[in-house]
Structure 1
């Protein structure tokens, strides 16, 4: 794929997530996907995302920065959301928080095969302490 095609493919993937169109997820994510170097497969990836949306009913992925080459995407995602209860081990309990995620993807045959994600947990902690 060209850089432009991969960027468009990634935008369609983000749209799929925001619509919670789980049956379409396999169009974008490889059956043998790895997340932070652990093989979780497409079913595990879907379960992880479904759990994210259960914990954060207003979850929305917003792309702030996107860099792509022929096989990889690097993205900075921004979130403003209201997790219920505990999120990432933190007692958010319905407060609105703002944070980012730096995430890197490797594609194979037009689908995501590997994901490396780093969420800015310190930003969430700082907001909870400020309240």
Structure 2
């Protein structure tokens, strides 16, 4: 698979997440997927994502940077969302926050086999301490990569 093919497959995966098309998830994620070293399997991975969308009703994955070096994808994802309660142990409680996630995906046989994810919790903490209700800040270096 070429880097272009892998990038297209990854964009389709992100689209699947944003549509919450859980029945299509197995087209993109392997049965034995691991997340940050934990063996979740497809069912556990799906449950994790479904929980994320329940706890963050306006969750949307936006690709900011994408590098494909088959069989690996590196992506910087941007989020502008409103978790309804605590998020990553932080008392967000309905405030809008912006943050990024840096994530690597290893593919095997055309599906995600392993995910390594780091979320910028320091950015969330800074926003929570700077405003009582809604916080919106935009990095001047952040631009969306067109599909």
Specify if TM > 0.5.
Answer: yes
> What is the aligned residue count?
131
Q: 1:1-131 residue pairs with structure 2 within 5 A?
A: 1-131=1-131
Greater share of strand: 1
Q: TM-score, normalised by structure 1?
A: 0.99
Task: Flag as ranges the 4+ runs of structure 1 deviating above 3 A.
Answer: none
For each residue in 1:15-55, what CA deviation from the matched residue of structure 2 results, as whole angstroms up to 9, or x when unmatched? 00000000000000000000001100000000000000011
* CA–CA distance in structure 2, aligned partners of residues 16 and 5 of structure 1: 17
Q: Which runs of 5+ in 1 are unaligned?
A: none
Name the Cα RMSD after superposition: 0.4
Gaps of 5+ in 2: 132-147
Q: Summarize deviations over 1:38-83 as a string: whole Å, max 9, x none.
A: 1000000000000000110000000000000120000000000000
Separation of aligned partners in 2, 1:64 and 1:33: 24
Deviation per residue, 1:88-119 (Å, 9 max, x gap): 11111110000000000000000000000000
